[in-house]
Structure 1
């Protein structure tokens, strides 16, 4: 399953990767601890491969972290994420072992297995540590199946993947128990029909034309500053950032941009300090009068915020969006009273930003926009809430420097999913790549190179449509849970009657 995402991009493997584990779990008659070894192996392979890019944070000597401490931090982060994901895979596996014993019909087991896995993914999505889902394995390449994201978010695609795996696994079990060599039995046909049917319907949804009324057109510029993290927080990086973003802003303004987006903390300062200091970037806004969405620091409750500022043509602040989903250990210390001293010994950095409020509204001269700063791309509900409140396009300022190419590629894949879920154009500006323009169908209209200074000008279209997902959220998970509960209750009643 881990090979479905970048750097392998073998998305088709996701439709069969769960079969061996499913067969193993269904065949377990009596629970023993050793039965959890295959689920654990699956989890380690899935999360270990998908999130291996996290080890790219080493070395952090440029931040003042000793080399050995940096290595230990990188290894700890990778192993902790694997352990975190493994816990939820084991939860699903235990549910399959104990709850499917009373279910004799394979379709009932498939329904329950789908409901359990989708519930597990939903639970993880409400925690501070969330990144991969089964749906991510299909992005950005399998656009027909990704159109189903607009129905109920990632649950729709995840449910389809688990259902196809479960049906194929049950077909193999039936053939084995009946000692048949014929593979194309009833359940196999159902699974293939489901797979083909979902893709055909998704393809039809993908082919639906997008309305592009000129009154909703917006010429947006992107600046990819390419200021490496190794110098970003030091005088050399400050000078390079001010020069690069000022030059890029002026160039895009003169090329006809109506608004310009910069990456996450493009200017690593408090924006108010830039105003008071009459910086070159501030002066450029006053001269060109083009609104800009600027990544910089803010202040809240005595702590810094990772913020995106909406500045009008007079450099006045229309709105400020503070990052809500902060990176654990990177931007804040969870369980600070317990872990604070340990983290302080390993790293001299102050990793405590203030969380933004979930109900923020980002106002622009053209109406509301939905904003996700970097890590927030992993949280579909974060964007859904903002679009439901009137967001007409999506802005994602990010900084993916210091990792392998797999990380920005996966990050871009997440943003493709968010665009489809909400039926909104996506504008993505990153420090070192990949910056992108994505349309509401998930098409990547422009993608930057990595580790290059780039500017780009493109037209997006504001939209006010509302998908089923925007209106009702993750409703499918509740339906699946309800159906799974009905199946279990019926099975219990039937066993009592017998």
Structure 2
């Protein structure tokens, strides 16, 4: 499963990669020779199940998130080389173990279900409900990135269309269900329920048929025509400043940023764009300092083209990671403050426990004020759906803004401190958000990948990595509402309710047997 996202992008492996864990969880008791051995197994099954799930989770999350180690070395920030290595490894292990623990919990839950469920084939429904429920809970926190659903993005566009129905959980549920069916068929064969290979092959065709039906449904959604009218068009200019993090927060980087973004702004203004989008903290200053000292601000007054500018905002005595709408007259029209902060980068999770350890390792101040979760972002071209960097992983964040009238997506990011794997996975997240909300998306990043994505998830333009680029393109405002935007993640709620109902009925049947 760890090979399914970038850099390998073997997305098709996701449809069989969970089946081995499923098979191992339930095959051991079937191999026991006598009741005594089975009883011994039952006394240790939860421990063994957790270990199996945890190891599988380490393989998946650890490999998929290995790009986190790219933060090392941080010597340019004044962090000693060994301390930098320790921070990078700690972040990688901590976030990997967080995801692996959830798989371990799922495995323990499935073992408990197996011990009490009379109809074993219902384990598929139970497995889907438990996995989707855990992912839903997981996404409410900040340590969230590697949902099973993102393994299909951006390459399997047909299956991504299912995100319009109930968000990413639709895709996750499909993957878990297919894997579960493959495993259950093999388990039935191991339990001597098959009399011949013909019957085995016939049953194996069931999950294959389901895969086909799911993609056929996606094909139908994918081929619905896009409506593009001139009165909804916005000509957006993108600037990819390519400011290495090694100099970004120092005078050399400040000078390069002001010069690069001013040059790009003027060039795009001459192309008659309607508005210009810059990356996350493109100008790493407070707004008042940009007004007073920046040639970029003077260019706005000269060219009179609005811009979405990434910079720092102030919130009392703290500062925020913000995106500002600046009109052609140089006034602030609107402001959005980043809500989902990067754990261990912009704030310290479980600070009471980990704060002292992190502060001993690093001289960095990992504190930033969090924006309000109910923000809306109005612009001269309609209401926008905004995501700053890490927020791209949180589908509910985008759904809420779409439900409140957001007509297009703009995201601003800075992935300069990571390898190409992270920007590729980040782009995959934004592709999913465009499909789920049925919105056009414009992405501006510091070093790549900047992009234009249509509501079908097609990448119409994408930048190179680690290059300075400007680009202009057309996106369109849309007011449609997908089932997901209207009802949220209804699928998880339904399968969880079904699973609980079946569990209660099953318990009643056992008590009255």
Say if 2:42 is the partner of 1:27.
no
Say if 2:149 is the partner of 1:135.
yes
Contact 2:149 2:172 in 1 (8 A): yes
Q: How does 1:332-371 map to 2 (within 5 A)?
A: 332-371=347-386
Unaligned stretches of 5+ in structure 2?
Answer: 30-41
- Count of paired positions: 497
Of 123, 143, 149, the residue aligned with 2:163 is: 149
Partner-residue secondary structure (3-state), 1:293: strand
In 2 relative to 1, CA 437–105 (structure 1 residues): closer, same or farther, beyond 3 Å? same
User: Which residue of structure 2 aligns with residue 252 of structure 1?
Assistant: 268
User: Which residue of structure 1 aligns with residue 343 of structure 2?
Assistant: 328
Contact 1:301 1:354 in 2 (8 A): no
Q: Residues 106-129 of structure 1, C-alpha deviation per residue, up to 9 Å, x if partnerless?
A: 431100000000011111101111
Higher mean Cα deviation, 487-496 or 17-26?
A: 487-496
**Normalized against structure 2, the TM-score is what?**
0.95
Contact 1:31 1:97 in 2 (8 A): no
User: Which residue of structure 2 aligns with residue 243 of structure 1?
Assistant: 259
User: Which residue of structure 1 aligns with residue 510 of structure 2?
Assistant: 495
Q: How does 1:142-291 map to 2 (within 5 A)?
A: 142-178=156-192, 180-182=196-198, 184-185=200-201, 187-277=203-293, 279-291=294-306
Unaligned stretches of 5+ in structure 1?
Answer: none
Inter-partner Cα distance in structure 1 for 2:398 and 2:10: 27
Q: CA deviation at 1:388?
A: 0.7
Higher mean Cα deviation, 387-396 or 99-108?
A: 99-108
Inter-partner Cα distance in structure 2 for 1:150 and 1:184: 35
Q: Residues 150-207 of structure 1, C-alpha deviation per residue, up to 9 Å, x if partnerless?
A: 1111100000000000011111111222254346455423212211001011011101
Q: How does 1:80-119 map to 2 (within 5 A)?
A: 80-119=94-133
Higher mean Cα deviation, 347-356 or 487-496?
A: 487-496
Of 41, 61, 64, the residue aligned with 2:55 is: 41
In 2 relative to 1, CA 321–106 (structure 1 residues): closer, same or farther, beyond 3 Å? same
Q: Residues 422-463 of structure 1, C-alpha deviation per residue, up to 9 Å, x if partnerless?
A: 000111000000000000000000000000000000000000
Inter-partner Cα distance in structure 2 for 1:54 and 1:213: 42
Q: How does 1:457-476 map to 2 (within 5 A)?
A: 457-476=472-491
In 2 relative to 1, CA 183–154 (structure 1 residues): closer, same or farther, beyond 3 Å? farther
Inter-partner Cα distance in structure 2 for 1:410 and 1:82: 16
User: Which residue of structure 1 aligns with residue 39 of structure 2?
Assistant: none
Higher mean Cα deviation, 70-79 or 327-336?
A: 327-336
Q: CA deviation at 1:272?
A: 1.4
Inter-partner Cα distance in structure 1 for 2:107 and 2:368: 37
Inter-partner Cα distance in structure 2 for 1:22 and 1:271: 53
Partner-residue secondary structure (3-state), 2:129: helix
Inter-partner Cα distance in structure 2 for 1:99 and 1:186: 27
Inter-partner Cα distance in structure 2 for 1:300 and 1:35: 47
Q: Residues 54-84 of structure 1, C-alpha deviation per residue, up to 9 Å, x if partnerless?
A: 0000000001111000000000011101110
Partner-residue secondary structure (3-state), 1:309: strand
In 2 relative to 1, CA 31–249 (structure 1 residues): closer, same or farther, beyond 3 Å? farther
Higher mean Cα deviation, 342-351 or 136-145?
A: 342-351
